[in-house]
Each structure stands twice: as structure tokens, then as C-alpha cells.
């Protein structure tokens, strides 16, 4: 099993640009989660999906953030327009029966 | 809203010592509790998962306990080694009426084991 796959691993962009982060969950897992990690706030849940349906997006910081899961094997997190305060590590995780498995993360730097 | 607190925030001990990391949570309605390890600039490695019906889990030199009624968990590390140096995160998987929610993380304990 390849585990949770995220791309890109690193992203550097200028303020105002659109950023798209991608995640491929573990096959057979029916829940997918997006988290953000910053020094100040630690790890925070942004949004999660069950069976491709968004369940709770209360953690999404602003309307500039959006997430989609068009099918069971792919999800995107989009930031438009990006701002320097969005700089963080973004983790995707998927869950089958009990445990969440995390991807390696995408380190986003917005200059 | 679930809140998770980890104490201490940082810990530095000489090699060979046994140590305890603490985690507390405010809402006892949980599915499970996980302990993770994170090395600098790296991702999350799951160490132990305790189901809400369990009291403890063990893996090698690690032992995690759960007291759901008091909202506490501890991670015990025996015979610490320099390779144990990392940040240890406690995370609670809560549930609402609709099912399991995402994980709520503590801020972590930054552990340094001195050779």
C-alpha cells in the first residue's frame, strides 16, 4: 500500500496566486481529512469528507479556502488568492475503520 | 468543542530515564485517542491508538494509558534513548451525532534526550 499521497511536497508562490494542493487517500478508506500545521496554532482540522461528501468545513479559515472530493481517490484543497499568513504545512489524512493515516504533507510558502 | 492540552510543553532528560508525557481532553465522548511522533520538518508517525473501550496499549518501550472519565491519557517511555528526541502529539478522535469527527490535537511535548 502506497499510503496517503500528497502533491506537491513543497510549494512556493507569491501573494495573490492560486494554490492547489492534492491528495490521494488510501484505497478503500471512506473518510478524508485536511489539516493545517503552524507554529502558532499547531495542527488544526480544516475540513473532512465522508464518502466524498463534505461533512464539516467549520475549520476552513476563510472563503479563500475551498476543498473538493470529486471521487473516492482524489481530493483538492485550493487557496485563492493566497496570502503570506497561509504559509504552513498542510496534511491530508484518510481513515478506514478506526485509525487515521497521514500523508507526508505539503509545505506551502507564500511570499 | 473538544480541547486537548499537553503537559509539559518541553522536556529535556538524560538518556536512560523513564518519562511520562501527559495529555488531557475536555469532552469524554471520544472514539479513540492517538499518540503521534513528529520529527523536525517531517510528517506524523502514529505510535499508539487506544480505543475508547480500552485502558492502555503497549508497543515496545512505549505504553499509553487512557482514563476517559477523567479526560486523561499518559504516554510512558521506558529507558529513553537519544533517538526518542522528537515532538510527541496527542490527538483525540471525537464523535458528534453524525459520527466520528476529525482529530483534535494538543500542541505537543518537545522532547530532548541528552546522550
Average pLDDT over residues A97-102: 86
Contact B44 A91 (CB under 8 A): yes
Grid cell locating A83: 496570502
How far does B16 lie from chain A, in Å, by closest CA?
29
Q: Which residue of B has its CA nearest to A96?
A: B100
State the Cα angle at B91 between B83 and B74, rounded to 5°: 65
Place of cell 515532538: B87
How far does A98 lie from chain B, in Å, by closest CA?
8
Q: Is the dihedral of CA B44, B45, B50, B51 positive or negative?
A: positive
What does B75-98 look like in DSSP terms, one character per residue?
A: EEE-S--GGG-EEEEEEEEEEETT
Grid cell locating B36: 503521534
Residue A73 has what pLDDT? 95
Backbone dihedral angles phi then psi of residue A69, each to the nearest 5 degrees: -140, 85
A64 — pLDDT class (breaks 50, 70, 90): very high
Rounded to an integer, what distance in angstroms lies between the CA atom of residue B93 and that of residue A15?
34
Contact B34 A98 (CB under 8 A): no
B13 and chain A: CB distance < 8 Å anywhere? no
- Paired residues of A33 in beta bridges: A48, A93
Which residues from chain A sit within 8 angstroms of residue B106, using beta carbons?
42
Grid cell locating B90: 496527542
pLDDT in tens, chain B (115 residues): 899 999 999 999 999 999 999 999 999 889 899 999 999 988 999 999 999 999 999 999 999 999 999 999 999 999 999 999 999 999 999 876 555 678 999 999 999 999 9
Which residues from chain B sit within 8 angstroms of residue A99, using beta carbons?
32, 34, 46, 49
Amino acid at each position: 500500500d502506497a499510503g496517503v499521497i500528497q502533491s506537491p511536497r513543497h510549494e512556493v508562490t507569491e501573494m495573490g496566486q492560486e494554490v492547489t494542493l492534492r491528495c490521494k487517500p488510501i484505497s478503500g478508506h471512506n473518510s478524508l481529512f485536511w489539516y493545517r500545521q503552524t507554529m502558532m496554532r499547531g495542527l488544526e482540522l480544516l475540513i473532512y469528507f465522508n464518502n466524498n461528501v463534505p461533512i464539516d468545513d467549520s475549520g476552513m479559515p476563510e472563503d479563500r479556502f475551498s476543498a473538493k472530493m470529486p471521487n473516492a481517490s482524489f481530493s483538492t484543497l485550493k487557496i485563492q488568492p493566497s496570502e503570506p499568513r497561509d504559509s504552513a504545512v498542510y496534511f491530508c489524512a484518510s481513515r478506514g475503520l478506526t485509525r487515521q493515516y497521514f500523508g507526508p504533507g505539503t509545505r506551502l510558502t507564500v511570499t | 468543542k473538544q480541547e486537548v492540552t499537553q503537559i509539559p510543553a518541553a522536556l529535556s532528560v538524560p538518556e536512560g530515564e523513564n518519562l511520562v508525557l501527559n495529555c488531557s481532553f475536555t469532552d469524554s465522548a471520544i472514539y479513540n485517542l492517538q499518540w503521534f511522533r513528529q520529527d523536525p520538518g517531517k510528517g506524523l508517525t502514529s505510535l499508539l491508538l487506544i480505543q475508547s473501550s480500552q485502558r492502555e496499549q503497549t508497543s515496545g518501550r512505549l505504553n499509553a494509558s487512557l482514563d476517559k472519565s477523567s479526560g486523561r491519557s499518559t504516554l510512558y517511555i521506558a529507558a529513553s534513548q537519544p533517538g526518542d528526541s522528537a515532538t510527541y502529539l496527542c490527538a483525540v478522535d471525537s464523535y458528534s451525532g453524525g459520527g466520528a469527527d476529525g482529530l483534535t490535537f494538543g500542541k505537543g511535548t518537545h522532547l530532548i534526550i541528552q546522550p
